[in-house]
Amino acid sequence: MTQLEVRRFWENDWQAALGLEGMYFDQLIDFSITDTNLAALPARGLSLTIRPGVRRELSTDVWLSLETPVSRQLYKDSVDDYWEGGPKLTLGRTYGRQSEVSLSYLFTQRGYNRAPGRDADGDTITNSVRRVSHHEVQIGWKHFWDTKRHWRSSTRVGYRHSAENVSGYFDYERYELVHQLRLKTERWEISAEGRVAHYRFPVQTVSDTDPEKRRRTDLRATLRAERQLNPHLRLYAQYEYERSDSNQLLDEYAVNTLSAGVSVEF
């Protein structure tokens, strides 16, 4: 993964930023939220993102920002490529030791290259290509608990409504809660994070013989440690446990992931 960001500040309380992100992946990915495959699939490919944005300080402690990221997802296997983009508007208030609360609205549209639409039974609709729109609202709270800002907690609550352009077979609602506790010293950064997300599908059913609407709950716990070696170089190690519980048996899984690497900033 590679990231680059350029940021410019003006004396009239405006700032602008341009971010570029690139990632190569070769891993198992769960596509069951957005596709008919209810099991994780091996996937290889590239993810490229450009992220322009502006921010205005409305007062000494209130700010407003607008981002318009655009991403291109390229797969080398059977998964279809797509474009994705849309605006994110955030209103925030800073208080105390650079703590802040914020309210965000995101609109994202995803256009697939060839993926066909599905009818209410999940069967392919010929001469159709899927387009998906996401509307999402998020409330965020970041708080520093000590004067030296070593201890920080972050909480995010969000709601997403996803709707496609064909039959609504892939439509869903998602309710999400994410909480993180972080300790940062001169050399170390250690964090623990928990996430729970509940999905409801208004069209999809459990099976042809079970008319109950599909629902799913994802749980994730992450532990991460980083060690700063010099101003530009740091090492990191991470453990992640993820679990999916659903009334659709093929939707359920549990996975443990260990990762480690080197991060270079310049």
Is 62 a domain residue? no
Domain count along the chain: 1
Is 17 a domain residue? no
CATH number at 84 reads 2.40.160.40
43, 29 in Cβ contact below 8 A? yes
Is 159 a domain residue? yes
Is 249 a domain residue? yes
Q: How far apart are CA 35 and CA 17, in angstroms?
A: 34
- The pair of structure tokens assigned to 44 is 């290889």
Residue with tokens 């050399």: 187
pTM for the model stands at: 0.88
Q: How far apart are CA 189 and CA 85, in angstroms?
A: 32
34: three-class secondary structure by DSSP: coil
For residues 118, 217, 163, 168, the Cα torsion angle rounded to the nearest 10 degrees is: 30
**For residue 251, what pLDDT is reported?**
85
- Is residue 260 over pLDDT 90? yes
**Residue type present at position 20:** L
pLDDT tens-digit map of 73-96:
999 877 899 999 999 999 999 998
**Residue type present at position 214:** R
Is 7 a domain residue? no
Residue with tokens 């990762």: 259
Q: Which domain holds residue 168?
A: 75-264
Is 203 a domain residue? yes
Is 226 a domain residue? yes
Is 104 a domain residue? yes
pLDDT tens-digit map of 121-157:
888 888 889 999 999 999 999 999 999 999 999 999 9
- Tell me how far CA of residue 157 lies from CA of 142, 145, 196, in angstroms: 12, 20, 10
How does DSSP assign 88-128, residue by residue? EEEEEEEETTTEEEEEEEEEEEEEESSPPPB-TTSPBPTT-
216, 245 in Cβ contact below 8 A? yes
- Is residue 58 over pLDDT 80? yes
4, 10 in Cβ contact below 8 A? no
251: three-class secondary structure by DSSP: helix
Lowest mean pLDDT among 37-46, 87-96, 121-130, 219-228: 37-46
- C-alpha closest to that of 52 among 26, 37, 35, 71: 71
Mean pLDDT computed over 204-211: 88
Q: Where are the beta strands (DSSP E) in the chain?
A: 2-9, 14-29, 41-57, 62-67, 70-75, 82-85, 88-95, 99-112, 131-144, 151-164, 172-184, 188-205, 213-230, 233-246, 253-264
